[in-house]
């Protein structure tokens, strides 16, 4: 079940785009019309409000990956696009998850402590937690919580930046 | 013309009555748009007014730009394309919102696939009405996103001069292509305060295109590597595509080919980029290319691709295409490098710059550095002798052979004639049997394969090159799609000549059904009786001539060439049984090229190699 972000099948692309209406549609439309699938997508403005950063995960490599990068780079509103080397980048993803508490509140709290997650909202029979980590670790926590009964779950899609270790 | 004090008919009102004098600077978005187009050097534009674009058509009256009023917006788009193909300058069209915008989608897609520089202005409903399903509203930028190099929705009249400048810059630089500018009515309508703006020259402010930096200089190290790879090749072919014409690189190409004495194939988009009459020219490769061009690529040990993109119509089945060839791929669009076929040397750059670099290095290497290619040249010329383009002459009582008509058309016209084509058998016959000795004399829809392209494209070409003779070759299926633009040609005094190949069929589809569907002809027969093309031509103000026998062909062409004050349509009644050969069947490799039935016995088991 666990998908390692370091697996060669998955590639993380980071694009700096103009922060203008319609830019996300251009990017998403290019993927669909050239027959590529976006596995995960996160987009938000950068510290410079003229630009947004989009982080994609795609499950292609070789020629199709090369094509996606080049075709995205051709979009006028895409300022820059790079593929992040998994060995030299840091990835994080945020998950919000609501789980049935039932008789297991104590057990759940142990998991929360164990993973250093946060309880955001606590109801009579369910609890909402947040956790940010490497995507593979989120998969792990999701599996740990599944037996309790997952009511709702939302993940943001991964964001990534080059690491400073080289 | 009229005495002082008399009333002034509206169209004769003195200019002082008009608030928009050319000498004053624009004060609203509509005037600014027209002035910005003038500043970009636009001399001719093609269009048709309507609700949302109405305010822009008022300043058009006072503009130096010639506006050609079309009969259908698709015609405006193809005219802009034909103009661009013939002149090298960006074609401009302007239409209103909604259905007019959707009618230009086809020409935009056509221009996208053939890399034609074009700027299309569309009207849009007022800003406040966008998204409300207003009358004649459609999401023009959304719809055209996939068929334009870029598009803009302008929301502030103050941005108009800058965005128009950006649109022309994007359309004409890098790999050229169509750019659409969508303009809401309220920001161009002088009665709306939202249209107010302060004029500035379009190129007086910086462009806001942080993500657009087309690269034209090829990497010198790669050019050196390419020149050395060429020097060692024993069976090289220069594979020349439309990018040569876009880069205006026909002259350096000729120098390179002669310097190296390497044979040249010119793709459908590149006909004329290298002279057909040159001994090194092998003509068109691909699905309906001639045997020598197809087979030379197949047997080559090196393909030097210059502004070509390994289109499926050239390569046939990819895994069997040019199996022994190393690849040098030169293209201004980096995404073309390696898209279809992996390269050994890939050079991103303008073809002209890169070819000039190759010429320099080749000269430095000296003639002694080049491999011996005499065996290759004699093999190639052996194929040329054995498998020339051919067809069987008609027997008495037969309908006209389209190849015969095309040869007569070629021989009856000067070699700088501009030939425009529709899509289908007549297009292939034109590419095969015309002799293209000059660049920018062949205009057709290559990538998208748009039926109905030729008549509006010919009008656009003639508008841009009024002193040149412009012929449109067309099929009867094509003609019925866009013939109404001959009305435009008449009214706007842009006379063209049309050679209509009427075989009463959708001929290319018929050919496929004959060859690959056991002669089960489905929905390809148009009509033997209607329309009457001569009457139709005459009703549109053109001269109509019907030709049915071989001896009438040349005189009819000569007669058409004597008529210069109006358009001429010659209907050639041709033989529907005539197919286009050679042909590489879909799904086959280029080694399985099918030649004319009269030559088929010359192919031995090894594909006719000598």
ipTM value, please give it.
0.89
Which positions ≥6 away from B485 have C-beta within 8 Å?
B70, B71, B72, B75, B79, B455, B456, B459
Query: Is residue A95 within 8 Å of residue A157, measured between CB atoms?
Result: no
Q: Is A56 found in the same domain as A17?
A: yes
Contact A76 B150 (CB under 8 A): yes
pLDDT at B11: 45
Among B467, B470, B424, B415, smallest CA distance to B443 is for: B470
In angstroms, how far is CA B268 from the centroid of its own chain?
10
Query: Is residue B355 within 8 Å of residue B248, measured between CB atoms?
Result: no
Among A78, A93, A66, smallest CA distance to A25 is for: A78
Whether B465 sits among the annotated catalytic residues: the reply is no
pLDDT confidence bin for B603, thresholds 50/70/90: confident
Averaged pLDDT, B419-440: 98
Q: Does A66 touch chain B (CB under 8 A)?
A: yes
pLDDT averaged over every residue in chain B = 95
Q: Does B318 touch chain A (CB under 8 A)?
A: no
Per annotation, catalytic residue among B508, B513, B540, B599? B508
pLDDT at B605: 52
Whether B508 sits among the annotated catalytic residues: the reply is yes
| Residue reference for tokens 């033997």 | B528
Contact B339 A67 (CB under 8 A): yes
Q: Which of A22, A74, A78 is nearest residue B335 as measured by Cβ atoms?
A: A74
Among B109, B107, B111, B141, smallest CA distance to B124 is for: B141
pLDDT at A9: 66
Q: Smallest CA–CA separation between A72 and chain B, in Å?
A: 9
**In the sheet where B281-283 sits, what is the strand order?**
B281-283, B264-266, B236-240, B302-306, B326-331, B345-348
Contact B170 A29 (CB under 8 A): no
> Which chain B residues have a beta carbon less than 8 Å from that of A62?
none
User: Tell me: the pLDDT tens digits for B439-490?
Assistant: 999 999 999 999 999 999 999 999 999 999 999 999 999 999 999 999 999 9
Please give the residue that has the higher pLDDT: either B425 or A59.
Answer: B425
Q: Which of A84, A103, A135 is the last residue of a domain?
A: A84
Question: How far is B140 from B100, CA to CA, in rounded Å?
Answer: 10
Q: Which of A21, A33, A71 is nearest residue B335 as measured by Cβ atoms?
A: A71
Contact B145 A29 (CB under 8 A): yes
Q: Does A48 touch chain B (CB under 8 A)?
A: no
pLDDT confidence bin for B610, thresholds 50/70/90: very low
User: Tell me: the pLDDT tens digits for B154-174?
Assistant: 999 999 999 999 999 999 999
Which positions ≥6 away from B455 have C-beta within 8 Å?
B75, B420, B422, B472, B474, B479, B482, B483, B485, B486, B489, B496, B498
Averaged pLDDT, B4-22: 43
Q: Is A113 found in the same domain as A80?
A: no
Q: Does B142 touch chain A (CB under 8 A)?
A: yes
Q: Smallest CA–CA separation between A78 and chain B, in Å?
A: 5
Query: What is the secondary structure of B278-297 as a DSSP string?
Result: STTEEE--STT--HHHHHHH
Q: Smallest CA–CA separation between B564 and chain A, in Å?
A: 45
Q: Is A99 found in the same domain as A75?
A: no
From chain A residues 102-121, the ones with a CB under 8 A of any chain B CB are none
Element (H, E) at B93: strand B91-95
pLDDT confidence bin for A165, thresholds 50/70/90: confident
Among B527, B477, B472, smallest CA distance to B495 is for: B472
Contact B145 A71 (CB under 8 A): no
Averaged pLDDT, B180-191: 98
Question: How far is B66 from B449, CA to CA, in rounded Å?
Answer: 29
> Which chain A residues have a beta carbon less than 8 Å from that of B342?
63
Instruction: Determine the residue among A24, A76, A82 to mutate to test chain B binding: the one whose Cβ has the most chain B Cβ atoms within 10 Å.
Output: A76
Contact B149 A76 (CB under 8 A): yes
pLDDT at A59: 87
Whether B1 sits among the annotated catalytic residues: the reply is no
For residue B3, the tally of other CB atoms under 10 A from its CB is 5
Domain membership of residue A141 (yes or no) is yes
Domain membership of residue A2 (yes or no) is no
Q: Is A112 found in the same domain as A78?
A: no
For residue B577, the tally of other CB atoms under 10 A from its CB is 14
CB burial class (10 A; 0-12, 13-18, 19+) of residue B469? middle
Q: Is A69 found in the same domain as A39?
A: yes
User: Is residue B63 scored above 60 in pLDDT?
Assistant: yes
Contact A74 B333 (CB under 8 A): yes
Among A33, A20, A24, A32, smallest CA distance to A55 is for: A24
**Domains by residue range for chain B, with CATH:** 19-204 (3.40.50.970), 220-386 (3.40.50.1220), 402-573 (3.40.50.970)
Two structure tokens written together for B308: 């070509």
Q: Does B214 touch chain A (CB under 8 A)?
A: no
Per annotation, catalytic residue among B185, B326, B462, B497? B185
> Which chain B residues have a beta carbon less than 8 Å from that of A80?
211
User: Tell me: the pLDDT tens digits for B378-388?
Assistant: 999 999 999 99
Domain membership of residue A149 (yes or no) is yes
> Which chain B residues have a beta carbon less than 8 Å from that of A15?
none
Q: Smallest CA–CA separation between A134 and chain B, in Å?
A: 31
Domain membership of residue A3 (yes or no) is no
User: Is residue B417 scored above 80 in pLDDT?
Assistant: yes
> Before B531, cis peptide (omega within 30)?
yes
Query: Is residue B370 within 8 Å of residue B557, measured between CB atoms?
Result: no
SS (H, E, C) B586-600: CCCCHHHCECCCCCH
pLDDT at B459: 98
pLDDT at A86: 82
Q: Does A20 touch chain B (CB under 8 A)?
A: no
Contact B211 A22 (CB under 8 A): no
Averaged pLDDT, A150-158: 95
Residues β-bridged to residue B306: B240, B330
Question: How far is B406 from B126, CA to CA, in rounded Å?
Answer: 51
User: Tell me: the pLDDT tens digits for B345-404?
Assistant: 999 999 999 999 999 999 999 999 999 999 999 999 999 999 999 999 999 999 999 999
> Which chain B residues have a beta carbon less than 8 Å from that of A22?
141-142, 145, 153
Contact B335 A29 (CB under 8 A): no
Domain membership of residue A147 (yes or no) is yes
Q: Smallest CA–CA separation between A92 and chain B, in Å?
A: 27
Q: Is A116 found in the same domain as A77?
A: no
Q: Does B170 touch chain A (CB under 8 A)?
A: yes
pLDDT at A36: 87
Q: Does B150 touch chain A (CB under 8 A)?
A: yes
Element (H, E) at A120: strand A118-122
Q: Is A109 found in the same domain as A153?
A: yes
Q: Which of A29, A74, A80 is nearest residue B146 as measured by Cβ atoms?
A: A29
Contact A79 B210 (CB under 8 A): yes
User: Is residue B233 scored above 60 in pLDDT?
Assistant: yes
Domain membership of residue A45 (yes or no) is yes
Q: Smallest CA–CA separation between A50 and chain B, in Å?
A: 10
Q: Does B139 touch chain A (CB under 8 A)?
A: no
Two structure tokens written together for B248: 């205006």
Whether B481 sits among the annotated catalytic residues: the reply is no
> Which chain B residues have a beta carbon less than 8 Å from that of A78?
211
Contact B338 A66 (CB under 8 A): yes
Question: How far is B303 from B296, CA to CA, in rounded Å?
Answer: 10
User: Tell me: the pLDDT tens digits for A104-124?
Assistant: 899 999 999 999 999 999 999
Instruction: Report the range of poorest mean pLDDT among B3-7, B119-123, B549-553, B592-596.
Output: B3-7
Q: If you count DSSP H runs as helices and E runs as strands, how many of each does chain B have, helices first?
A: 22, 18
Q: Is A95 found in the same domain as A126?
A: yes
Domain membership of residue A53 (yes or no) is yes
User: Is residue B3 scored above 50 in pLDDT?
Assistant: no
Share of chain B above pLDDT 90, in %: 94
Domain of A95: which CATH number?
Answer: 3.30.70.1150
Q: Does A65 touch chain B (CB under 8 A)?
A: no
> Which chain A residues have a beta carbon less than 8 Å from that of B153?
21-22
pLDDT confidence bin for B22, thresholds 50/70/90: low
User: Is residue B86 scored above 70 in pLDDT?
Assistant: yes
Instruction: Determine the residue among B211, B334, B342, B348 to mutate to test chain A binding: the one whose Cβ has the most chain A Cβ atoms within 10 Å.
Output: B211
Domain membership of residue A134 (yes or no) is yes
**What separation in angstroms does the CA of B79 have from each of B71, B460, B485?**
11, 4, 10
Whether B22 sits among the annotated catalytic residues: the reply is no
Among A33, A46, A8, smallest CA distance to B142 is for: A33
pLDDT at B547: 98
Instruction: Determine the residue among B140, B176, B335 to mutate to test chain A binding: the one whose Cβ has the most chain A Cβ atoms within 10 Å.
Output: B335
Query: Is residue B244 within 8 Å of residue B256, measured between CB atoms?
Result: no
Instruction: Report the range of poorest mean pLDDT among B17-31, B72-86, B215-229.
Output: B17-31
The residue range of the domain holding A133 is: 90-162
Q: Which of A36, A61, A84 is the last residue of a domain?
A: A84
Q: Which of A84, A103, A125 is the last residue of a domain?
A: A84
Contact A25 B145 (CB under 8 A): yes
Q: Does B141 touch chain A (CB under 8 A)?
A: yes
pLDDT at B203: 94
> Which chain A residues have a beta carbon less than 8 Å from that of B209?
76
Query: Is residue B477 within 8 Å of residue B549, measured between CB atoms?
Result: no
Domain of A37: which CATH number?
Answer: 3.30.70.260
User: Is residue A28 scored above 80 in pLDDT?
Assistant: yes
Q: Does A63 touch chain B (CB under 8 A)?
A: yes
Q: Is A75 found in the same domain as A128?
A: no
Q: Is A24 found in the same domain as A65?
A: yes
Give the count of domains, chain A.
2
Q: Is A152 found in the same domain as A96?
A: yes
Question: How far is B582 from B595, CA to CA, in rounded Å?
Answer: 4
pLDDT at A37: 87
Q: Which of A22, A33, A66 is nearest residue B146 as measured by Cβ atoms?
A: A33
Q: Is A20 found in the same domain as A80?
A: yes
């Amino acid at each position: 079940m666990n998908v390692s972000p370091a697996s060669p099948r998955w590639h993380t692309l980071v694009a700096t785009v103009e922060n203008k209406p319609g830019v996300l549609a251009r990017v998403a439309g290019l993927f669909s019309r050239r027959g590529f699938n976006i596995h995960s997508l996160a987009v938000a403005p950068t510290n410079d409000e003229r630009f947004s950063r989009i982080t994609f995960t795609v499950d292609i490599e070789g020629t199709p990956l090369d094509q996606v990068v080049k075709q995205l780079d051709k979009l006028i509103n895409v300022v820059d696009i790079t593929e992040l080397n998994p060995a030299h980048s840091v990835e994080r993803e945020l998950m919000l998850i609501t789980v049935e508490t039932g008789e297991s509140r104590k057990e759940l709290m142990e998991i929360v402590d164990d993973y250093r997650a946060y309880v955001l909202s606590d109801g009579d029979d369910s609890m909402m937690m947040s956790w940010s980590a490497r995507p593979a670790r989120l998969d792990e926590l999701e599996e740990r919580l599944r037996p309790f009964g997952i009511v709702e779950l939302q993940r943001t899609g991964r964001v990534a930046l080059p690491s400073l270790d080289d | 013309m009229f005495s002082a004090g008399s009333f002034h008919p509206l169209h004769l009102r003195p200019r002082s009555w008009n608030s928009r004098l050319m000498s004053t600077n624009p004060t609203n978005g509509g005037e600014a748009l027209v002035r910005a187009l003038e500043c970009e050097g636009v001399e001719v534009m093609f269009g048709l007014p309507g609700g949302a674009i109405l305010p822009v058509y008022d300043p058009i009256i006072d503009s130096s730009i010639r506006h050609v009023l079309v009969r259908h917006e698709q015609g405006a788009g193809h005219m802009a394309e034909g103009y661009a193909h013939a002149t090298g300058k960006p074609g401009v069209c302007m239409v209103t919102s909604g259905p007019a915008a959707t009618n230009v989608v086809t020409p935009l897609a056509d221009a996208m696939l053939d890399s034609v520089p074009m700027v299309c202005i569309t009207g849009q409903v007022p800003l406040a009405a966008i998204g409300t399903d207003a009358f004649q509203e459609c999401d023009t930028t959304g719809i055209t996103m996939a068929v334009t190099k870029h598009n803009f929705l302008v929301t502030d009249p103050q941005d108009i001069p800058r965005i128009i400048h950006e649109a022309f810059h994007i359309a004409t630089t890098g790999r050229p292509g169509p750019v659409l500018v969508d303009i809401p009515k309220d920001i161009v309508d002088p009665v709306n305060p939202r249209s107010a703006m302060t004029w500035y020259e379009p190129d007086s402010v910086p462009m806001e295109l942080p993500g657009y930096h087309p690269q034209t200089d090829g990497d010198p190290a790669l050019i050196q590597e390419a020149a050395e790879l060429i020097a060692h090749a024993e069976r090289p072919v220069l594979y020349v595509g439309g990018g040569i014409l876009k880069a205006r690189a026909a002259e350096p190409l000729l120098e390179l080919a002669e310097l190296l004495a390497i044979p040249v194939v010119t793709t459908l988009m590149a006909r004329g980029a290298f002279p057909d009459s040159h001994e090194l020219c092998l003509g068109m490769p691909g699905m309906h290319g001639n045997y020598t061009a197809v087979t030379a690529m197949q047997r080559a040990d090196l393909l030097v691709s210059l502004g070509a993109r390994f289109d499926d119509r050239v390569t046939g089945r990819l895994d069997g295409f040019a199996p022994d060839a190393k690849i040098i791929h030169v293209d201004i669009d980096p995404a073309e490098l390696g898209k279809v076929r992996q390269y050994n040397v890939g050079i991103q750059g303008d073809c002209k710059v890169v070819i000039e670099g190759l010429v320099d290095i080749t000269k430095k290497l000296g003639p002694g550095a080049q491999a011996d290619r005499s065996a290759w040249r004699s093999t190639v010329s052996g194929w040329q002798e054995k498998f020339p383009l051919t067809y069987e002459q008609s027997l008495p009582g037969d309908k006209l052979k389209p190849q015969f008509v095309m040869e007569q058309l070629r021989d009856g016209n000067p070699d700088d004639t501009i030939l425009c084509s529709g899509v289908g058998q007549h297009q292939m016959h034109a590419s095969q049997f015309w002799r293209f000795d000059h660049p920018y004399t062949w205009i057709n829809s290559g990538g998208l394969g748009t039926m109905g392209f030729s008549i509006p494209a010919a009008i656009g070409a003639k508008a841009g090159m009024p002193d040149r003779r412009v012929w449109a070759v067309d099929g009867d299926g094509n003609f019925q799609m866009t013939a109404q633009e001959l009305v435009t040609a008449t009214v706007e005094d842009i006379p063209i000549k049309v050679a209509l190949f009427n075989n009463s069929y959708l001929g290319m589809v018929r050919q496929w059904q004959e060859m690959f569907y056991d002669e089960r002809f489905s929905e390809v027969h148009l009509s033997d009786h209607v329309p009457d093309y001569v009457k139709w031509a005459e009703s549109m103000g053109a001269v109509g001539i019907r030709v049915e026998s071989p001896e009438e062909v040349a005189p009819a062409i000569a007669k058409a060439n004597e008529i210069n004050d109006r358009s001429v349509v010659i209907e050639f009644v041709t033989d529907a049984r005539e197919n286009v050969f050679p042909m590489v069947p879909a799904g086959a490799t280029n080694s399985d090229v099918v030649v004319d039935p009269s030559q088929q016995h010359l192919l031995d088991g090894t594909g006719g190699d000598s």
